Amino acid sequence: MLGIELGSTRIKAVLIGPDHGVLATGGHTWENQLVDKLWTYSLDDVRAGLQDAYAQVAAAVRDQHGVELTRLAGLGVSAMMHGYLALDADAELLVPFRTWRNTNTGEAVEQLSAALDFNVPHRWSIAHLHQAVLDGEEHLPRLATATTLAGYVHHALSGEHVLGVGDASGVFPIDSATGTYDAERLATAQRVLAEAGFTGQLTDVLPRVLSAGEVAGHLTEAGARLLDPSGALQAGAPLCPPEGDAGTGMVATGSVAPRTGNVSAGTSIFAMVVLEGPLSQVHRELDLVTTPAGDPVAMVHCNNGASELNAWAGLFKQFAAAAGSPLGDAEVFRTLFEASLEGAADGGGMLAYNYLSGEPITDLEEGRPLFLRTPGSPFDLSTFMRTQIYAAFATLRIGMDVLTAEGVRLDRMFAHGGVFGTKGVAQRHLAAAIDTPVSVGDVAAEGGAWGIAVLAAFTAARATSGGAGEQRALATYLDETVFADAQLETLEPDADDVAGFDAYLRRYVEALPVERAAVEHS
């Protein structure tokens, strides 16, 4: 089974065997670009990245296992959720890909959220579409399909315009009872868009929705050549429904059952909490999405994650080199992160905002990375680094507080992402930030690419047992087949750390006008 995930900084491919163990991996680094004030990626980079990552997998299979990779038992595609890929009837791109990072959809969000009685986030595909209508964009008469990056790549491989229900829940609100778009809200949205001048039909424009375990098409000859221009890869492999990185993160951490959750920390940071029932009211801080099986999930999504931490680490790495003691990336991060454990629990009068881009949870359409301290505060490395790590979790905590007030409880929060690579550091600070036990382990080492490969295996298990013959739910399949022997390390929140983070967060919220002033005047 091959899983491919197009993340914010890396395109990764993972090949797994029947036991879900990793056989080979490949990766390709890429970066978004700010073009005409919108964050985007080139589709040429998509194609090049897919081919590079796949070629590395094929080479690893050849070198490590002594065989040529010519056939796949199944495959799946995952990518950054949300955003807007507008395609014409020939699946040609009409405007540059608009990623989840864009927050230019404020007017659309206000109108849709009010009309649908539902929090429609800035990055959702329906928000981008409605904003394009409000702005009178000329591409709209030719619009045939509005999809996500995962949906676009899936179509390129299979010819099918479909989405997994988890990814689709970042396009338009989902009715978990039916497993597809909420019909009543779809009719309301159609009316709102038509009043603004939209002449298309949403039911035609939005991709068809499928749930985990369903076959979502087969690898075409053109799709095989897209992945492998050499011609060695054969067509015909079944594809699972394409998913977003949030959904594959849930799978990769075994967090698809109620009262479980996971935090994924990368360029963005988000928490996914599987709900036991509906929330009492609409909250602008929360996205209501679903698991890949269609169960309701509250998502706290923060646009800004570890990028500013990476920038500071890079600065200290330059200093070490200039001082004649060069250090590798891993050693720089380990040294800085471990130092944070000795820092003042409340940040010692220091504050940091990691806002490289806008942050909807704190009502900021743009961001400015900012560090400040009171004149009398001590200025030591340990507290400085604790403050920087706290900054990565502060906005997340604001959203999690809303869930706590709703009475949502968690049995476990699983954390994954590079920021948790230094053992016991970011894990401890996150446990303090959300006052919840936090688990880490090797189960998510290969991340969402492995998660979508597991979903491909789940689809294959259902297909080989006659479709409906495979009766196990996704959560049961993961518990019994994938994670039965998983080794996890769990840290309980430390009381002093919890009190310290609470004090830090109060100052963080009170000083938000400083961040807004930085945006307005720089």
Which residue in 135, 67, 80, 138 sits closest to 106, CA to CA? 135
Q: Is residue 267 part of a domain?
A: no
CATH number for the domain spanning 425: value is 3.30.420.40
Which residue in 20, 76, 11, 16 sits closest to 212, CA to CA? 76
Q: Is residue 69 part of a domain?
A: no
CA separation for the pair 494, 500 (Å, rounded): 10
**Model confidence band, residue 109 (pLDDT cutoffs 50, 70, 90):** very high
Most confident of the ranges 100-109, 267-276, 338-347: 338-347
Q: Is residue 31 part of a domain?
A: no
Q: Is residue 373 exposed (0-12), middle (13-18) or buried (19+ Cβ within 10 Å)?
A: middle
Q: Is residue 365 part of a domain?
A: yes
List the beta bridge partners of residue 296.
Answer: 290
Q: Is residue 421 part of a domain?
A: yes
Q: How many domains, in total, are found in the chain?
A: 1
Query: In this predicted structure, what is the pLDDT of residue 468?
Result: 45
List the beta bridge partners of residue 372.
Answer: 351
> Under the phi-then-psi rule, with left for phi > 0, alpha for psi from -120 to 50, and beta for the rest, what region is 290?
beta
Q: Is residue 428 part of a domain?
A: yes
Q: Is the pLDDT of residue 453 over 90?
A: yes
Measured in residues, the chain has a length of: 522
Helix then strand count (H, E) for the chain reads 17, 22
Q: Is the pLDDT of residue 445 over 70?
A: no
Q: Is the pLDDT of residue 472 over 70?
A: no
Structural domain harbouring 323? 307-442+489-520
Q: Is residue 350 part of a domain?
A: yes
Q: Is the pLDDT of residue 469 over 50?
A: no
Share above pLDDT 90 across residues of the chain, in percent, rounded to a whole number: 82
Query: What residue type is 438 in one-letter code?
Result: V
pTM: 0.81
What is the per-residue pLDDT across 285-325, written as a single tens digit (0 to 9) for each? Answer: 888 999 999 999 998 989 999 999 999 999 999 999 999 99
What is the per-residue pLDDT across 212-246, written as a single tens digit (0 to 9) for each? Answer: 999 999 999 999 999 999 999 999 999 999 999 98
Q: Token pair 């609100």 is at which residue?
A: 173
Q: Is residue 400 part of a domain?
A: yes
What is the per-residue pLDDT across 41-71, written as a single tens digit (0 to 9) for each? Answer: 999 999 999 999 999 999 999 999 999 999 9
| E strands in 74-135 | 75-79, 85-87
